Amino acid sequence: MLKAVILIGGPQKGTRFRPLSFEVPKPLFPVAGVPMLQHHIEACSKLPNMKEILLIGFYQPNEELNRFLSCTQQDYKISVRYLQEYAALGTGGGIYHFRDQILSGSPEAFFVMNADVCSEFPLPEMVDFQKEHGDAYSFVILGTTANRKQSLNYGCIVENEQTDEVLHYVEKPSTFVSDIINCGIYLFTPEIFQHIGAVFQKNQQDMLLEEQSNGWHRAEVIRLEQDIFTALAGQGKLYVYKTDRFWSQIKSAGSAIYASRLYLNQYHQTHPERLATNREGGPKTRGKFLVELGPNVSIGTGVTIGAGVRVRESIILHGATLQDHSCVLNSIVGWGSTIGKWARVEGTPSDPNPNDPYAKIDSETLFRDGKLTPSITILGCNVNIPSEVIILNSIVLPHKDLNRSFKNQIIL
């Protein structure tokens, strides 16, 4: 029997996803037409002996999350539950806090995944790999190859090339360590809780030695990467399964467009029914006019698109309206927003270097040299763009009625 745990974080995380995360928790933001988390759940549900999927985070339960849980349980015929942390406990603290829930039913192993990654999720291969390598007490990290410079932004893994054992693990090193990086997807056996428990006890002892412990420094705050993997490396217990399939982080809104492109390309093999075609039940057109959509465009329900509209490399969310001859490039158009006739909304893509097969998407800072870093354009919900204006490389917060063009600005 297998289980899966998806770490979804909480509201003070995902700040780089604003203003989109004002309306919907980041893990429920639609990527390639479905909530980000649904890709993880679908991959888990395909494993024949997967019995339960647990979401762990510190979001307050809300109607949107409850509706998502209900729908996914019905769609995938598998138990999906949300366990709320009392505070941010770190990637290891959350699973240790809910260890009884994870271990109920005595699973042989369980996956742990970060919600903010997109991947082909080679989960069956990881299960087979664990059986082939090491014993029943070994743990598996999913790894992939990055270029030397970008590897410094991730957890780096030094492996034994013959056995795939992890010999050394460093989280975001200051100098080059290895070009194999941690993908944030793990396969553990229940024995992992002994190692996490040892760190928990050490944290408790350290707190007792401190005369005044800070309120935020709880013994339960444990990080898998720094506290567990670093200690386990070189002990014959930790292995890396390397994948050459697609993988990317989804830290910012710009990376959501790139992730959407990766999933849309995958849909040709896995979900052709999710791609727009001229079929019954598909999008309806009224009148005869030319609209050019694509490549890599995701359009939500209830979107109205006028004649002569051009959309490329963008996500158009539920209820938006693109009036005649408007142009949307490298942008996210928020729920219920309107773009006027002949208006142009354009951003700068933050794609990886196409000439480097190991390049990953850069996590750009919002500002560079005191100026807004050129990135995709984001319109929050219910934004109105007038006719014949240009919005370039800008972020527009919700419920704004603009009256002129803007470039490289955050419009509060």
How far apart CA 32 and CA 34 sit, in angstroms, is 6
| Residue 260, H or E segment | helix 253-270
Q: Give CA–CA dist 194/217, Å, rounded.
A: 21
- The one-letter amino acid at 245: R
pLDDT tens for the chain, 412 residues long, are: 999 999 998 876 556 777 888 888 889 999 999 999 999 999 999 999 999 999 999 888 888 899 999 999 999 999 999 999 888 888 888 898 999 999 998 999 999 999 999 999 999 999 988 888 766 668 999 999 998 888 888 899 998 888 888 999 999 989 999 999 999 999 999 999 988 888 888 878 777 766 555 544 577 788 888 888 888 888 888 999 999 999 998 888 888 999 999 999 998 888 888 887 766 655 555 555 667 787 889 999 899 999 999 999 999 999 999 999 999 999 999 999 999 999 999 998 887 878 778 788 776 666 666 677 778 899 999 999 999 999 999 999 999 999 999 998 888 8
Q: Which residues pair with 331 in a beta bridge?
A: 377
Per the CB < 8 A criterion, the answer to whether 327 and 341 are in contact is no
Q: Helix, strand, coil proportions of the chain in percent (round to 5)?
A: 25, 30, 45
Ramachandran region of residue 161, left (φ > 0), alpha (ψ -120 to 50) or beta? alpha
What's residue 85's pLDDT? 87
In this structure, are residues 266 and 296 in contact, taking their beta carbons and an 8 Å threshold?
no
> By the 8 A CB rule, do 125 and 227 touch?
no
**End-to-end CA gap in the chain:** 50
Q: What is the pLDDT of residues 134-170, one digit of tens each?
A: 666 689 999 999 988 888 888 999 988 888 889 999 9
64: helix, coil or strand? Answer: helix
Task: Report d(CA 45, CA 150) in Å as an integer.
Answer: 32
Produce one character per residue of 210-229: b if its CB has 16 or more CB atoms within 10 Å, e if not.
Answer: eeeeeeeebbbbbbbbbbbb
Which tokens in the block code for residue 100? 């009884």
Per-residue pLDDT at 216: 44
CA–CA dist 300, 297 (Å, integer): 10
Among the listed residues 234, 199, 237, the one whose alpha carbon sits nearest the alpha carbon of residue 219: 199
Give the separation between CA 318 and CA 295, rounded to whole angstroms: 19
How distant is the alpha carbon of residue 352 from its chain centre?
16
Dist. CA 401–CA 366, nearest whole Å: 23
Establish how many alpha carbons lie within 13 A of residue 403's alpha carbon, considering only the half-sphere containing its beta carbon: 0
